[in-house]
Amino acid sequence: MSAQVPAPRTSPHDPLPGGVRGLLADWSSDQRAFKVSWGKAMMWIFLLSDTFVFSCFLTGYMTVRMANTVPWPNPSEVFAIDIGGHPVPLLLIAIMTFTLITSSGTMAMAVNCAYRRDRMNCAKLMFVTAWLGEVFVCMQAYEWTKLIVSEGIRPWGNPLGAAQFGSTFFMITGFHGFHVTCGVIYLLVIASKVLRGHYDISGNYQAVEIAGLYWHFVDLVWVFIFALFYLW
C-alpha cells in the first residue's frame, strides 16, 4: 500500500498569482488572515461603511446646531407627551430606548441558543427581537405624527425655533428607522429558516450571529441619536 505524499507547503517567497486569481487573492487576504467567514467579513465591511454615513449625519447635525443663531427647540418640551393632562418630558423616548435595548438582549440570547443548536428557542427569541423592533418603529411613527400634526414641524420649517431642527431630525431618525425596519425583515427571514431547520442540515448557525451583528449596530447607533437629539 503506497503512502500518500503530502502536498508541498506554499513558501512566503513563492511568486503571487497574477491576473484575476491574484486580484481575488489580494481581496481575500484579510478574510483569510483573521479566519472569518465571507458572510461575517462582508457584514463588518457594510457596518463600517454605515458607521461613516451615520457619523457624517451626526457631525453635520452638531455643526448646524452649534453654528445656528436661532434658538434650538427644548427637547423636554418638544418630545413631551400628555399623561392625565400633564406633559411628561421624554417619556415616549425612554420607552423607545428601553424597547430597543431589550431587543439587543433577546438577540444576544438568540445567538447563544444558536451556538448550542437550540433551534426552537433561537427562533422564538429572534421573533421576539423582531417584534420589539416593530414596536419601536410604531412608536417612532407616533412621534413623527405628533410632531407634524400637533407641533407643525416640517423638514423645511419649524415654528418652535431653528428651521434646521426639522430637517436634521426627520433625516437622521428616519434613516435609522429605515435600518430598524430592514432589520426586522432580516430577522424574520433568518428566524423562519431557523424554525424550518434550514441550518440543521449544515450545522452552521453563523447566519444568526451575522444578523445579530447588524441588530446590535442599529441599537448602538440609537444610543448616539438619543444622546444628541433628546438629551442635548
pLDDT score for 4? 45
If phi > 0 it is left, if psi is from -120 to 50 it is alpha, else beta; for residue 84 that is left
pLDDT score for 75? 86
pLDDT score for 212? 95
User: Which residues lie closer than 8 Å to 44 by C-beta, 6 or more apart?
Assistant: 36, 213
CA torsion sign, 13 to 18 to 21 to 22?
Answer: positive
pLDDT score for 1? 42
CB–CB of 224/54 below 8 Å?
A: yes
CA torsion sign, 186 to 128 to 132 to 62?
Answer: negative
pLDDT score for 23? 56
Using alpha carbons, select from 124, 112, 141 the residue that is nearest to residue 190: 124
pLDDT tens for each residue of the chain, 232 residues long: 444 444 444 444 455 555 666 555 555 555 455 566 778 888 999 999 999 999 999 999 999 999 888 888 888 888 888 887 788 888 999 999 999 999 999 999 999 999 898 999 999 999 999 999 999 999 999 999 999 988 888 888 888 888 889 899 999 999 999 999 999 999 999 999 999 888 887 778 899 999 999 999 999 999 999 999 888 8
What is the value of pTM for the model shown? 0.82
What span, in angstroms and rounded, lies between the C-alpha atoms of 184 and 79?
25
